[in-house]
Each structure stands twice: as structure tokens, then as C-alpha cells.
Structure 1
Amino acid sequence: MKTFFLFALTLLLSVTAARAGQSTAGVIKSLEGKAAILRDGRQIEAKIGDTLHVGDTVTTEATGSAGIMLEDNTLVSLGPGSRLDLNDFAFEPQNGLFAVAIKLIKGSFAYMSGIIGHLAPEKIRIETPDAVIAVHGTRFLVNVEDAR
């Protein structure tokens, strides 16, 4: 019994340490239809409450949409048939670390900045296949047509 307890505790600590190594960026707050998270070469069906990490890609199907809240309360609403890469995120105000870097590959999204947009708007980078958006306001809508 004691051996089992030690094994379970070791397993729990190693899982916690592995998760701590991943940089949490946000969470899926709402879903309509189907969406997926692409992480480390795997596709995971998105569910409300799923955690998003730096390096994740979120996709929505042709009839799907997803609401994402980043750790600094930034809101991103993905429209149908969208693909969004979460390239960088840092929110450590106590250390002066701020970063938001997202790229809309296709589809549409609405953006409403959170705390980083107010404290360090120059640290926000929004990319599309054709442009980089500088965030001087707090809200905007982007649509990227499929280049086919």
C-alpha cells in the first residue's frame, strides 16, 4: 500500500511538472458547432473549458465558432471556417513581461484587448497572410479570404 501511495504521488508530481512547463495562454469559453485544437501534431476536439497553450492552433468548421479568453482577459471570437495560430503569449505584470502574438491564417475573428492592450499595446502582434495589425484601439474585426 505504501509503495502504491508513493508511486501515485510521484506520478501526480511528474504530471504537474510537465503541465507547468507548458505556457498556458487562455481557455475556450464558448463553442458553436465543432472546433479543434492542433497541439504537438495532434488534433483534439475542442470543448468549453479546454486550456490553450503557446503553439496551439485553433480551427473551426464551416458552421462552427469559438470564443477564447486569454489570461489577460483578451477576448477572441473565431468565426466559421477559421484557423488561428497562438504563436506567443506572456502575461507576468510583476516581471514586466507582456506578449500577444496571434496569426489568423483564414476565416474571421473579432478581437477585444485585455490588460496587455492597456498596459503594453506595443507588445501585441496580430498577423494575417497579408498584413500585420498594430493595436492602437481595443476592438476590431478581421476577415481573411481563402487564397485558392
Structure 2
Amino acid sequence: MRHALRYTVLLLGIGTTMAIGWPVGAQGLTQQAIGFYLTVIGKPTVVHVGQPAAMPVKLRESVYFKDVIETQADSRAKALFDDDSILTVGENSRVEVSEYIYDPANNQRSSVLRMIQGKARALVGKLFAGLGSKFEVHTPTAVAAARGTYFVVWIEEKASRKMGLNEIGTVRPVSVQGPEVAELQAGGTGVANIGSSGNVAFTSGGKTVEVPPGSYAFAPPGMPPFAPVIITPTAPPGVTGAIASTEVPDVPQPESPSQVVTALGQGVVPLVGAGGPIIAPPPPVLPGLTPPSPISGAGISAIINTPGINLLCGVVRVCQAECPSCAE
């Protein structure tokens, strides 16, 4: 990890090392970052603790503990944290970094994101086995806990179409037997697991269901989640909309020839006019490191190739190279 643990506080009686970030002037502490913004679209804003005035989010600026990130229509923001997790805040959303503990020496990471409204996605590529390690997104009525996967959480703004015994399967509360008919109620929480591995533990109304890769689940306010359903083109608009509206590609960064050669593992910069370099394949991703494709924002297309899932063809236009079965 390229970011060092910059600032630690020993919690007396607990012995936990906590990496926290505060902006300059907040409670007299030195500015410390816990991540930075990879991509900024539109005009998202952030409120730092101790500085109530909202500030524009800028590319490559730092993220701090207790930051509240807010977006409006047509604005989004993607941030990379020191533990290699990635948060994307969709439009018309408000998310607070309410807890951030990162202690690589003890294999510990505890992150809690509090989403007040809107939608967000998170890539949690690394697993931490240290005591108390977790990665959770909290909404006013539910909790989504990731276990090494890529997922979207949203708060339903308005009721969506009803679901029951139909082409996408039986949808009913886990505590109810029989073909109950339900709908995506306004104020409820939805979770879509768009990763290729790892489950999301989705808790609401005192009940928890495991949402596997390529599936989604929904919980009306105060009620248990419905049984998970496979994501298909016929999924409710709230599901497909949350996935599509949180997909944000990284902003390409210019690189010098030397940087490109170094990144590819080449030892010598080719001479100008030599006909171009022979580029070797990039080195494989080492175990434990975040793979590059999800970082690049491959959200909807990231799980098109999940076995048994023909994801969202016809819902969101993708090129034939990404989805050969989709006709133009």
C-alpha cells in the first residue's frame, strides 16, 4: 500500500490503532488523509468536521474521517481509501465516513459509511482477519456488510413496480411463506451484489440474508429483506438505476514514456524513431491486491461474464465487444 499509516491514536483500554483524518484547523489536529478522489463528475461537495461550510470536491484531493460527501443531479464522486477500498457516491446522495480504522500491522480494517440518502457502490477487494474488521454501509433502516466483494446500496426514492411470482422468480419476505406480493417501497433499502465472488450480509428488521454475486435484495422500512433475486434485464428500475448511476470510470492520467515502461516492467526506454517499443504483457495481479478492472469503473459490465448471468443486456446499452449477445 503506497499510503503509510500517518496518524495513530491508541484507544485506552482497547488497544486499537485507528487511522483518522482531520482537515486543518479541526479540533487542533494536523491534517491527515485516509484516501483521495479518483474521479469527480459535476459539482459534488464535501463538509469536513469542524468546518461546516461545504467545499467543492476536487480531483486528487484528500478524503478525511467524518467527511460528509454530497452530490446533486448529474454529479458523482469516486474515492480510493488507504485500505484499497473504493467508494463511489451516485447523484443526489449524501454519505458520511462515520468510522475508519486501518491497522495493516494487525490485519485490521473497520469502515462504516452512513448513507442518509441516494445511492453508493463500494469495492472491497481485500479481506482483513483482525479483530473487529468489517466494511459496512448503513442506511436509516438497514445495514449492508461486505465480505470481499463489489456491491451497490441505495435508498428507494419512490415505490417501484410490484414483484411476486413472475419471470424473475418468487420475491417475498424471508419470514413469510407463500407467494407474497411486495414492492420496492419508498424509503426502503436495496442491495445489489455486482461482484464475482463474496457475499453481502444484508440486515433489516432484525433479520439478515446473504446476497450472493449477481443478485439483489430489498427491504421495506423496518421489515426483513426479501429473498435475493438474480439480476436480469427485468429487474425493477430501482435496481438497474442504482447500478447504472453509480458507475464512474477513472479519469485517465497522462504518463511519460518512462512511467509507462516502468509500469510494464520494461527496463529501457525505447529510442525515438526506433519503430515503437515491444510491450510485454503486464505482470499478473498479486494475491491480496485489488484487481484493476473494477477500479476502472467497470460496474455494470464487470459482471456480464458472471457464470449463468446475462446481465442487463437491453437495460443499459453496451458495445458488442463487452456483451456479444447484445444486438446493436
Q: Please give the TM-score of this superposition, normalised by the length of structure 2.
A: 0.36
Q: Distance in 1 between matches of 2:107 and 2:29?
A: 20
CA separation of 1:123/1:141 partners in 2, compared to 1, >3 Å: closer, same or farther? same
1:77 is aligned, of 73, 77, 88, to 88
Q: How does 1:111-122 map to 2 (within 5 A)?
A: 111-115=122-126, 118-120=127-129, 122=133
Contact 1:105 1:128 in 2 (8 A): yes
Displacement after TM superposition at 1:21 (Å): 4.0
Residues 1:106 and 2:125 are matched in the alignment: no
| Cα RMSD, aligned residues only | 2.3
Displacement after TM superposition at 1:63 (Å): 1.1
What's the counterpart of residue 143 of structure 2? 132
Percent identity, please: 24
| One-letter amino acid of the structure 2 residue matched with residue 98 of structure 1 | R
What's the counterpart of residue 99 of structure 2? 88
Task: State the SS of the aligned residue for 2:34.
Answer: strand
Q: How does 1:5-20 map to 2 (within 5 A)?
A: none
Contact 2:125 2:150 in 1 (8 A): no
Q: Distance in 1 between matches of 2:104 and 2:29?
A: 18
Residues 1:27 and 2:36 are matched in the alignment: yes
What's the counterpart of residue 9 of structure 1? none
Q: Which has the higher contact order (CA 8 A, sep 6+)?
A: 1
Displacement after TM superposition at 1:139 (Å): 1.1
Gaps of 5+ in 2: 1-23, 158-186, 188-328
Task: State the SS of the aligned residue for 2:105.
Answer: helix
Q: Distance in 2 between matches of 1:58 and 1:78?
A: 8
Would you say how many aligned residue pairs link Structure 1 and Structure 2? 129
| One-letter amino acid of the structure 2 residue matched with residue 61 of structure 1 | Q
What's the counterpart of residue 3 of structure 1? none
Contact 1:32 1:66 in 2 (8 A): yes
What's the counterpart of residue 47 of structure 2? 38
Gaps of 5+ in 1: 1-14
Larger strand proportion, structure 1 or 2? Answer: 1
Contact 2:137 2:153 in 1 (8 A): no
| One-letter amino acid of the structure 2 residue matched with residue 33 of structure 1 | G
Q: Distance in 2 between matches of 1:145 and 1:19?
A: 39
- Which structure's CA Rg is the greater one? 2
Residues 1:61 and 2:72 are matched in the alignment: yes
Q: Distance in 2 between matches of 1:129 and 1:77?
A: 19
Displacement after TM superposition at 1:97 (Å): 4.0
1:44-63, Cα deviation, whole Å (9 max, x unpaired): 11100111111110011111
Question: Runs of 4+ in structure 1 displaced over 6 angstroms?
Answer: none
Task: State the SS of the aligned residue for 1:62.
Answer: coil
Displacement after TM superposition at 1:94 (Å): 1.1
Larger helix proportion, structure 1 or 2? Answer: 1
Q: Between 43-52 and 93-102, report the one with greater CA deviation.
A: 93-102
